[in-house]
Amino acid sequence: MNRFERFLGLRGEAKVKYLDGEYQVLLPGDYVQCAVSGQKIPLDELRYWNAELQEPYANAEISLSRHLQVTRLKR
């Protein structure tokens, strides 16, 4: 992070621990990256994640597709 970003209040990527129904911010930041698409997800818009895999997802469709993929791999 450079001085300009710090001046604007931009903190970069957050480090998050994903729990059942909630998450805990371990290192403050502005966003997390979707584990599937790589899309930046602002923390205030984060709605989908997998606590077991510790992965955030950008939307419900991506979350479902990842769930189905993991389920198939476990068979």
Quote the CA–CA distance of 41 and 54 in Å, as a whole number: 15
Full-model pTM: 0.82
Q: Where are the domains positioned within the chain?
A: 12-74
Encode pLDDT of 13-58 as tens digits. Answer: 999 999 999 999 999 999 999 999 999 999 999 999 999 999 999 9
Q: State the CB neighbour count (10 A cutoff) for residue 48.
A: 19
Quote the CA–CA distance of 15 and 6 in Å, as a whole number: 17
Residues 6+ apart with CB under 8 A from 47: 60
